[in-house]
Structures are given as structure tokens and as C-alpha cells.
A and B are shown apart, each in its own frame.
Chain A
Amino acid sequence: MAVEEVDPVSGRVTTGHEWNGIKELDTPVPRGVLIFLIVTHIFAVIWWFVMPTWPLGTTYTKGLLDTNQHKIVEERLVQANAARASWVDAIETASFDEIRADPKLMGIVRSTGHQLFGDNCAACHGRDGKGGHGYPDLTDDDWIWGGDPEMIAETMRIGINSPHPESRASQMPAFGRDQMLDRRQVVDVAAYVHSLSNPSESTSATIGSIEAGKEVFLANCAACHGEDAKGNRDLGAPNLADGYWIYGGDLQAIITTIHSGRQGHMPTWDERLSPAEIKILALYVHSLGVENP
């Protein structure tokens, strides 16, 4: 049945079988393929000899190099830490002022800080540190808790409304929802707060509301935000008289804040970043807000 034929193109014979018109040539395996097969096998066998590869019951062949990935990682980590040791030690021991006076260390702060900020903070504060709704801008000079490097480092260490035992607590009460103020009073005090940073927008129509709002403010808000509404850093109560807002400064956003309250959450970095990294970030964040750091 098998009828071998000669293929006119290649000059080779077929195997003599045919499947619905398909035939096969009996071409031997090209020499290149065999050589290639041998080369890859030699590579594999060499690898088996030098590296850990084959299982042997409860153990495995260790290979002539007697290495393994755990050992390699540990060595690499030691090397990497040693390579960084000089400046990491300097940053850990020096005071903020000393570091700021040292251009070389500040160079490291800027480059390392950029990466640390990108990987740890940018998700909330934005890549450029400019924040967004609910997340404060770290590049302006308006600070809720304080903007010198020491304070920034402290904020990072303990967090805000975080599980850290020393965490900063930031509570803006929900005056409307919890019925401390009625609807009218909320609108009035919002108009007043709004007018502080937008004095030009107070018209004769709103002036009455603003006046009433001021009374409400002095009675309910001044304890935290201060009589002049310039905030209180000990309580984390922000300045309401400048143009910087965490939750938005239009009238509606302010009403929402007063009605429902706000509790921003900032994680603690105490155990996630090393002391040197916290210091670097504090200086880096500080430098974002200063024209010429």
C-alpha cells in the first residue's frame, strides 16, 4: 500500500503514506538540528553539575559551586548595605541642620528622596507632592501640623489617626449630622469661613449670613481653629483663612465638611521605613515647599 514517490522539488522520496492528499518526505533530520540538540544538552548537563538541580529524596544535588539563592541574596544585601553605609550613617547621626548645610548629603536626599517619595507617598500626595482632594499639598507653606523637618519626621513616624499608640488625632466634628448646629447655622458659618479667604465675594446679600456665621464660629469653632481662624497646629486644625484647602474651598465643599466632619488618615511609617529613610523624606518634603532649599 505504501507507495513511495520521488518529490520533484526536493528530489526526496516520500514515506509512501497519504492522508487526504497530504504526504510526507522521508528527509533525514538535518545535521544542524542534531548539533543544536547536543549543544543545548551539553549546556544543561554543565548546569546540572555546577548548580543545585536534581532531587535526591529529602535533599538535592548541591552542584560544584555549592550555592543557592538564599545565600546569594544575603551576600548581596550585605554588599549593598556596605556600599551605602557611609552616607546612611552620616544621615542617621547628623542633625537636620547639619545635613542641610552639607551639599553632598543634600544631593543624596534629593535623589533618594525622589524615589522614596514616589514609592511610599505619591499614591496619596501625588507624584509632585501637590496632594489632591483629601490629601494635603506638601509643597505649599501651609502646614497643618508643622512644616519644619523635625515636625514632618514626627508626623511620618506616628501618622495621623493611625494605629500607632502616639498617633496624632485629627477630628473635625460632624456639626450638622450630629445636630450640634442646625442647617441655617451650618450655612452661615460656612459663608463666614468662605469669606475669610474670599473677602471680595461677600456681597450685601450674603453679608447678613456672614455676620451670623461669625457668631457661630466664635462659639463653636474657635476652640480648635482659633479666634482668627488661623488654625492650631497642636490639634491639627488647619488654617481656614488662607486660600489652601484639603477638602476644597468652595461653599458647597465647606458646608459638606462642617455637616459631615473630616478625619484624614495618614499611615504611620515607623516600622516600614528606617530612621534614615524617614529623615531623608522629611528633608525632601521640606525642600518641596521651599524655593531654594
Chain B
Amino acid sequence: MIAQLTSSERQYSAVILILLLMAGIAMAALGKADALGVQGVIVLLYSGVLLAFVLSSIDKPEPSEDRQANYYDDPIKVGIVLSMVWAVFGMFMGVWVAAQLAWPNLAFDAAWSTFGRMRPAHTTGVIFGFGGNALIATSFHVVQRTSRTRLAGQLSPWFVLMGYNLFCLLAVSGYFIGITQSKEYAEAEWYADLWLVIVWVTYLVLYIRTLARRKEPHIYVANWYFMAFIVVVAMLHIVNNLAVPVSWGHAKSYTIWPGVQDAMVQWWYGHNAVAFFLTAGFLGMMYYYLPKRAGRPIFSYRLSILSFWGITFFYMWAGSHHLHYTALPHWVQNLGMTFSVMLLVPSWASAGNALLTLNGAWHKVRDDATLRFMMVAAVFYGLSTFEGSFLAIRPVNSLSHYTDWTVGHVHAGALGWVALITFGSLYTLVPALWKRERMYSAALVEVHFWLALAGTLIYVFAMWNSGIIQGLMWRTYTEDNALAYSFVDSLLAMYPYYIARAFGGLLFLLGTIVGCYNIWMTVRMAPVTAQDHADLPDRRAAPGIAPSPAE
């Protein structure tokens, strides 16, 4: 890995790591006994380990001159491994949290293992750890292949990947010691947020520079989505995390947004995190790996345009549906609701475009679990967006809000869509990247598929049932117009469903572990001898056609 860098690049990376190391020392010194001090030590250890790694091979021979003749795959490989590691961690946390909801004693009377700390460790672990690493890795792969050019930086891909993982690590370790901003999906505190801004802007610049070097006249759809993901997440992250720290020596900060405006900014962020992190990025994945695996052309280029602009435009306005029946003015809620309903059409257009692309390849879907992962993901994408638009309608939301129905919707999207499309993509990507003929075991991909599907269905059905029962119990009146049930009664009614959910989640986690094993064994397999000559960058000068990003 380091051997691919020139010695001056190695020196640069050592300098960056030393600066980071010093930042860690500064945090530890300023923070002292505050939690910030502990975070500083983590920064210190993280950069120290990486520095040792760089220094250990700083004297290796210079890379062969023709780096540009090859795609830059090392960071992608590391990204895939990190993604799977985070997947196991995050889903294990999910199963544990699910089990705690059924058996609260599983917190074992420790502070770090309480529900309130483990839940964000789960969401950050799966969304940012698993999802984020998978997105970074696949976006690096897709942008190179569809632009026929090598990534536009040697060091910056590593900076993005390792810097991003430092952010995840700071966030998750922070929760365990009690640090949080109390903003869902943006729990990490100010210093971690500042760091992510640097990392993310580097990502954006790298991506744009790579696209600018492309050898294809047009930018492929998948890249539109990855770009939307990178640009909008930068914007969301900065605006929602504007905060003033208590002091340079404290982990705690206070947001600059007051009251209900804070709530609105938070859910503008929260919903667009769903839209641009959990949707747009993964649509980018889908648009590349699904047609690739199916060997079919995209069903309709025009439909791609319609859904891309529909999604980017409508999502922006929909955040207020998370705040129905709250102190948020009624008109803002209504506006969000109508935009959520209109959002359904472009969402379904994407799902439909993916499924119709499979026309002519359905026999492959039947035989190939990898393609089936992606097919089912598209179905769940359609399902969860339909459900989302439905839940956004105020009277429906008055039943579903605060209940497990929301959690069911979340996981129909998160397990059924996000995780399944990722697994399908990784099973396509891993053999290609490591130049193996195929995955180590097709049977294990099949096993993973069924475990994941069963887990998702059990999870989602359990939560639908429990959510609707809860919602109905809370609004059931006796014939004397008094409430019929107490909250505890509804908790009791949820008990069997919580057990079922934990079981479904366990199946899903087992599937992920099977996937890790399969990927590991594939990496260890002998590479195919014949080099795939098609999988190389195009080294001719870029075509003279003026690029038009809208296409």
C-alpha cells in the first residue's frame, strides 16, 4: 500500500500524521480530566499507529513509474474491509440494543452499556461506519471505472478514508463515555465535526478532480448520485452542527440554533441524511453494480434524469414531516407533507428503472444470489419510500409517530435497501477488485442472502405489528371516553415483538458474518492469471467534447 506512494508522498503523509498526533496531544492537554482528554488520547493512538505504519516502509523503493496506467484500488480494498468490520460491530450493537428492549437487565448496570449510549453507537456504527465506508469505497471504484481514469490524488484517497474512520471512531467511543450533542445521527461533538468538514471537503475536491479528468464524454448517472451525496452531506453537516463549545478544553458544545428552529434544522438534516446518505449514495451503487452484474443496459436514461432531479429537489423540502403535531408551525408541516407525497414518484421511478433493467436477465436473478441481493434491495427501496410517503401524511403520522412503525420503516430501508444493495455490490466488486474469478463460495452468498432476507422480513413485520398495536392502544378510549390503556400496558404488548425483532436482527448479523468470511476467503484465493486488459484507465487525452454535468 505504502509502496504505491512516492517517497515525497510518504513524507507528506508522515507530516500530516504528526500534525494529527500533535492535535491529539493538544486535546489531551487542554481536555485534562474532561472527556475531551480521553478523545485526545484516541486521536493520539490512532495517528501514532498509522505513523508507525508509514515510517516502517518509508524507505521502500519508489513505485514503478506507470502508476497512471492502473486504477488506484488499494484504498478501495481497505475501505471494503473497514466497512465489513463496522458492519459486524454496528449490527452486533443493534442486536444488543434490540435485546435490551426486551430484557432491560442486559445493560448489566454499567453506564457505558445503557440503552442511551449503545443506541447511537448502533446507528453511527451501521450508517457511518458500515454505510459510509462502503460508499467511499464504491464511489472510488465507480468514478474511476466510469471515467476511465485513475483517482486524481495519491494521498488524498487515504486521507479521506482514514480521516473518515477517525471521525467514526471518535463519535462511537465518545458515546460510550457519555459525549453527545443530542442530535440524532449528528451526535458527535464539535471537534469531531470540524475534523469531518476537513475530510469531507477533501473528498469533494478529489471527486470533482477525478471527474474532470474523465475520458468519457458524459458523466455516468451513478456519479451524479455520488456527487449529490458528497455535496449535500457537506452542506447538511456544516449547517446542523454550527455550535459553540463551552471552552477549548471541553467536549461539550451548544448549538447556535434556538428552540423550534433547532428542531427544524435538525430534521432538515436528519431527513436529508436519509435522502443523500442512505438513498442517493446507494442509488449510485445500484446504478453501477446492478446493470454490471445483470449485463443489461439501464432501462431508461430519461427516467434516470427524472428521478435524479425529482429526488434531489423534493427531498430538500420534506424534513418537516418528522415534526408533525409539534411546536413547528402547522404550515411548515403541511408543506413538508405535500412534498413528501410528490417525492414518491421519482423514488418509485428509480426503483422501477432498476427492476426494469433486469428485463432479459431474470433467469440470472433466479440463479445468482448476488444479483438477487440487488433486485430485492430495489424492491425494498420501493417499499420503504412508499411507506415513507404514506407516513408523512399528517393523520397517518398521528398514529405512527413515536411508535415502532417508524423503526420498522427505518429498517425496511436500512436492512432491505441499504444493507442488501451494499452486499450485492460488494459481492460484485470484491472478485473484480482482487482479480479473482468469482467469490470463494457461491453457496455462502446464497446462505447470506436467505439469512438477510429472513432477518429483514422478521424485523420489519415484527415492528409493523408492534407499531400499529402501540399506536392503536395509545388512542383507544373506553366507552366512558377515558384512555383504556396505560403506557406500560402497551410496553407489555410489545414484548413478543421485541423478542422477534432481536431474533430477526440476529439472523441478519449472522448473514453479515458469513459474508465477512466469504470475502476473506475470496481475498485469500489465488488470483486469476490472465490480466483483465479491459480494466485499465484510458490513457489517451480527454475527449474535446465539453462536459455537461446535467446529462
Contact = CB atoms under 8 A, between A and B. Distances in A.
Interface stretch (B246-254, B342-350, B513-521): B342-350
Contacts of A68: 330
Interface in A1-57: 1-2, 7, 9-10, 14-15, 17, 19-30, 33, 36-37, 40-41, 43-44, 47-48, 51-55
A43 B481 contact: no
Nearest to A117: B486
B306 A51 contact: no
A35 B511 CA distance: 41
B339 interface: yes
Nearest to A50: B334
Interface stretch (B73-81, B95-103, B117-125, B293-301): B293-301
Contact of A33 (B325, B335, B345, B488): B345
Interface string A69-87: 1100000000010011001
Nearest to B301: A24
A196 B396 CA distance: 61
Contacts of A119: 486-488
Contact of B334 (A52, A108, A114): A52
A93 interface: no
Contacts of A53: 331, 334-335, 338
Contacts of A117: 486
B301 A15 contact: yes
B303 interface: yes
B217 A17 contact: yes
10 contacts: A1-B545, A2-B217, A17-B216, A17-B218, A21-B292, A22-B220, A23-B298, A51-B330, A53-B334, A84-B480
Interface size class of A (residues with CB under 8 A): 35 or more
Contacts of A28: 300, 302
Nearest to B349: A33
A2 B359 CA distance: 24
B360 A44 contact: no
B478 A112 contact: yes
A188 to B, nearest CB: 34
Contact of B300 (A25, A80, A83, A122): A25
A44 B338 contact: yes
Contacts of A43: 338, 341
A60 B331 contact: yes
Nearest to A73: B325
A87 B296 CA distance: 70
A14 to B, nearest CB: 6
A111 interface: yes
A61 interface: yes
Contact of B489 (A1, A21, A112, A118): A118
Nearest to A41: B342
Interface string B183-213: 0000000000000000000000000000000
B48 interface: no
B480 A23 contact: no
A68 B299 CA distance: 45
B280 to A, nearest CB: 18
A36 B298 contact: no
B112 to A, nearest CB: 24
Contact of B302 (A27, A36, A108, A115): A27
B291 interface: yes
Contact of B306 (A22, A33, A44): A33
Contacts of A44: 338-339, 341-342
A34 to B, nearest CB: 9
A136 B485 CA distance: 24
B486 A122 contact: yes
A272 interface: no
Interface in B519-550: 534, 543, 545
A184 interface: no
B300 A115 contact: no
A284 to B, nearest CB: 12
Contacts of B481: 80, 83-84
B442 interface: no
A47 B482 contact: no
Contact of A112 (B216, B299, B342, B480): B480
A104 to B, nearest CB: 9
Residue from B148, B292, B333, B483 whose CB has the most chain A CB atoms within 10 Å: B483
Given A17-B217, A20-B146, A47-B337, A87 B330 contact: no
Nearest to B302: A29
B329 interface: yes
Contact of B480 (A2, A17, A27, A111): A111
Contacts of A54: 331, 335
Interface in B466-500: 478, 480-489, 492
B322 to A, nearest CB: 16
Given A17-B216, A33-B352, A36-B348, A22 B297 contact: yes
A31 to B, nearest CB: 12
A127 interface: yes
Residue from A27, A55, A116, A127 whose CB has the most chain B CB atoms within 10 Å: A27
Contacts of A51: 330-331, 334
B304 interface: yes
Interface in B140-157: 145-146, 148
Interface string A124-165: 000100000000000000000000000000000000000000
B292 A27 contact: no
A11 B151 CA distance: 37
